[in-house]
Structure 1
């Protein structure tokens, strides 16, 4: 803590601006990746969903096939019973027994008709499901190919930028250690609240970077003196003078060029 207290305001401002340049460079790298990671994740979810759908459709086909087999077995059993009752009718002793067997035969014939009706319905369902399976298979093939392509794109970008991003994140942590915690927290808070992530900006043509609000000449002189940390009253951003910003940009660009090799 004692060491941090000895750091001058100017050194802290330089460290803050360097930190901003590093974090902005990381933002640039992530912008190059853009929406690709989200696209890949969405495609992975879609492919997984389609595979699950295919699995359920195939399972339902198996169930329908089992139902058809069951109905065919029922038909065979009914035919066996009809044959048995028809034989028994030849040996009946009275009309009551004959009529009873006739009713049994009629019942079994109805069972056969009902089973055949169900088999026809099941076969229609099979055709419908096969059509859906075919469409799903085509969709799955298309989405899987698209996923492979997008993963390839993402891996290429990651290969090019991952090493640099890791090095930059490490440098970001190093620079944070040069600045007192209160100021780092303020920097992070401002950075999170602004759209472009710029918490520290240089004065450009008498206004804070990216702003149309003019900084009063007296405040500009104070900023250029580098005696205290000054924030823009309109945006809340920390302000540095253009000369300091130019010096730090030159220094950090050399670092970026080194890290990107």
Structure 2
């Protein structure tokens, strides 16, 4: 990689402020998107969860249907055995055999009674699950509709801003490549420590941009001289004079319009 061109202090200040304007525009684009990507992600997770829940309930219903069929088969088997034992009772040779068959018949009748009780309980479970399924389907429909709306909205915003954001990111990297690494690191550190991401600001009405702290006249003169890089003692931001700021804003505005 070729060595970076030696820059004057003024050129460094202009490059840093240009970089700030580019990054501020990227921030603005991302703010337009706001929380939409996260909202879409949360809704996608919720829809997936509700869909999975419905699948489990439907699988559970199928399982209960199988259980009901098994119990009905059990009832039919018990009825056949009762019929068989009743017939056998007609041909017994003594009371002991008769009583033994009676006990078998009684046992099968209990089996039928228990199976019918279980079937009744299964149908109660089915009704409950169907109510939950209906509620879940309604919720899923609402969430799916909301998700589609948010996805469409996000797609529209991305379509409008994605190309510009990518071009701006490339420009940001280009400007960083022109500035000495020490200054780029300082810029990134300041930008990361201030709430609005503004690491390079102009003097406005005698104060640091976005601040109420007045810059002494002597310091203002030094900043206007563009002979050294001066930071605000309160916020740590790099300061530029209003004229330089205005010139670079106009230049960068023209650049933004071409993207």
Q: TM-score if structure 2 supplies the norm length?
A: 0.97
Say if 2:179 is the partner of 1:175: no
Task: Using the TM superposition, give the Cα deviation of residue 255 of structure 1 relative to its aligned residue in structure 2, in angstroms.
Answer: 0.4
Say if 2:76 is the partner of 1:76: yes
Task: Using the TM superposition, give the Cα deviation of residue 4 of structure 1 relative to its aligned residue in structure 2, in angstroms.
Answer: 3.1
Task: Using the TM superposition, give the Cα deviation of residue 61 of structure 1 relative to its aligned residue in structure 2, in angstroms.
Answer: 0.2
Provide structure 1 residue ranges, at least 5 long, that are not aligned to the other structure: none
1:129-173 CA distance string (max 9 Å, x none): 111111111111111111111111111111111110000000000
* Paired position in structure 2 for 1:130: 130
* Paired position in structure 2 for 1:193: 193
* Paired position in structure 2 for 1:118: 118
* Paired position in structure 2 for 1:203: 203
* Paired position in structure 1 for 2:45: 45
1:203-245 CA distance string (max 9 Å, x none): 1111100001111112111111111111111111111111110
* Paired position in structure 2 for 1:160: 160
Alignment CA distance shift 1:197-1:123 (3 Å): same
Q: Note the aligned Cα RMSD (angstroms).
A: 1.2
Q: Work out the CA distance in 1 between the residues paired with 2:2 and 2:64.
A: 78
Alignment CA distance shift 1:157-1:93 (3 Å): same
* Paired position in structure 2 for 1:59: 59
Task: Using the TM superposition, give the Cα deviation of residue 21 of structure 1 relative to its aligned residue in structure 2, in angstroms.
Answer: 0.1
Partner SS, residue 203 of structure 1: strand
Q: Work out the CA distance in 2 between the residues paired with 1:59 and 1:148.
A: 27
Q: Work out the CA distance in 2 between the residues paired with 1:124 and 1:70.
A: 17
